[in-house]
Amino acid sequence: MAVREIALLGDPVLRNRAREVEVFDEELTALVRDMFETMVAAEGAGLAAPQVGVPLRVFVADVREEDREKIRRLALVNPTLVWEGEEEARASEGCLSIPGVSEVVARPAEVAIEAMDPGGRPVRVEGDGLLARVLQHELDHLNGVLFIDRISALKRRMLLKKYRRLREKEEM
């Protein structure tokens, strides 16, 4: 088990479409295990394989809804969005690959995803609230899409300015 390095904005691995997983082997199991460990260490609610430099269609999520007892810990392979609700939800979103900044993003409030688990068994996940948001955010990562692509150009410019300032401070 190992915490892997998280790719940051500007790394091309974040902008490419990830490949389908074809082999469900020990390497995949190890990847998923490392991704959980990396996500927990970074205190994230989700992490996609491209974020650890692996261009495969895999993501993990660990969603704790404060108003509910429910905790969803998921590892999804080759996920497909099969349904989205008509209602839209707006909530603040951040990303481990763009640390320190966040912005309100509008997304369908409810979605259903079909995928495989790391053992190659088909799974279907339906969710609303934070779970729906995390599922869509991580699915975006597999298509090279980041949450900053889903906000207005003006908000994006302001967010990137703030992000660059934070990075500069960190490098000093």
Q: Which residues bind Ni ion (CB under 5 A)?
A: 95
Q: Examine the residue annotation and report whether 103 is marked as an active-site residue of this protein.
A: no
Q: Which of residues 61 and 125 has its CB atom nearest to Ni ion in the complex? A: 61
User: How far is the C-alpha of 117 from the C-alpha of 114, rounded, in Å?
Assistant: 10
Alpha-carbon Rg for the chain in angstroms = 16
Q: How far is the CB of 97 from Ni ion (least distance, A)?
A: 6
Q: How far is the CB of 120 from Ni ion (least distance, A)?
A: 25
CA distances to 5, 45, 88, 93, 118 from 96, rounded to whole Å, are 11, 9, 24, 10, 22
Instruction: Select the residue whose beta carbon is closest to Ni ion and give its number.
Output: 95
Is residue 74 exposed (0-12), middle (13-18) or buried (19+ Cβ within 10 Å)? buried
User: How far is the C-alpha of 166 from the C-alpha of 128, rounded, in Å?
Assistant: 32
Q: How far is the CB of 12 from Ni ion (least distance, A)?
A: 16
Of the residues 43, 138, 170, 171, which is catalytic? Answer: 138
Q: Which of residues 35 and 95 has its CB atom nearest to Ni ion in the complex? A: 95
- Two structure tokens written together for 146: 């980041």
Q: Which of residues 101 and 116 has its CB atom nearest to Ni ion in the complex? A: 101
Positions annotated as catalytic residues are 138
